[in-house]
């Protein structure tokens, strides 16, 4: 099995509902997303998936969230916009386009800061 990964960054605001502490207040992050794609077969070029296409797919999901207040956007208007829920959201949104190539998203990590992250594996 092969795995490749690509990182992508975007900025957004959020507030964690029901959290007892500072993160209940509106604040922002420069989020970093890392997506790992897995598959068995390489193409004739020797690639699992072109990094340009992977970053393009991540950008396609991130652009809707970039420079927005996440709590205003579905599904985060009801689901708390935690790093954990963002990781699952990216994984589920990317599974369709990446699955169309016979590959799968095996892991998504979302960093809220340089030293704190959440990882989702389907
Ligand atoms: Zn936060």
Q: What is the CATH number of the domain that holds 37?
A: 3.30.479.10
Share of the chain above pLDDT 90, in %: 93
Q: How far is the CA of 83 from the centre of ligand 1 (A)?
A: 8
Q: pLDDT by residue (tens digit) across 65-84?
A: 999 999 999 999 999 999 99
Q: How far is the CA of 28 from the centre of ligand 1 (A)?
A: 6
pLDDT at 111: 98
Q: Is 92 a catalytic residue?
A: no
Q: Is 112 a catalytic residue?
A: yes
Rg (CA), the chain: 15
Q: How far is the CA of 81 from the centre of ligand 1 (A)?
A: 8
How sure is the predictor about 7, in pLDDT bands with cuts at 50, 70 and 90? very high
Pairing label, strands 2-14, 27-39? antiparallel
The active-site residue out of 23, 27, 63, 84 is 23
**pLDDT of 100 over the 90 cut:** no
Name the domain count of the chain. Answer: 1
Domain span holding position 44? 2-120
Structure tokens at 92: 């589920």
Q: How far is the CA of 65 from the centre of ligand 1 (A)?
A: 14
Q: How far is the CA of 31 from the centre of ligand 1 (A)?
A: 10
- Count of alpha carbons within 13 angstroms of residue 76, beta-carbon side: 24
CA-to-CA dists, residue 72 to 8, 20, 68, angstroms: 22, 21, 8
The active-site residue out of 29, 67, 91, 92 is 67
Q: What's the mean pLDDT in 41-45?
A: 95
Q: Is 63 a catalytic residue?
A: no
74 exposure class (CB count in 10 Å sphere: 0-12, 13-18, 19+): exposed
């Amino acid at each position: 099995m092969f795995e490749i990964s690509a990182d992508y960054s975007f900025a957004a605001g959020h507030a964690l509902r029901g959290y007892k502490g500072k993160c209940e207040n509106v604040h922002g992050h420069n989020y970093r997303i890392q997506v790992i794609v897995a598959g068995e077969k390489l193409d004739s070029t020797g690639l699992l998936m072109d990094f340009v296409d992977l970053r393009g797919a991540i950008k396609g999901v991130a652009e809707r969230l970039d420079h927005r207040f996440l709590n205003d956007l579905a599904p985060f208007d009801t689901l708390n916009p935690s790093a954990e829920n963002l990781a699952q959201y990216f994984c589920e949104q990317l599974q369709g386009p990446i699955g169309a190539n016979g590959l799968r998203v095996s892991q998504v990590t979302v960093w809220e800061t340089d030293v704190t992250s959440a990882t989702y594996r389907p």
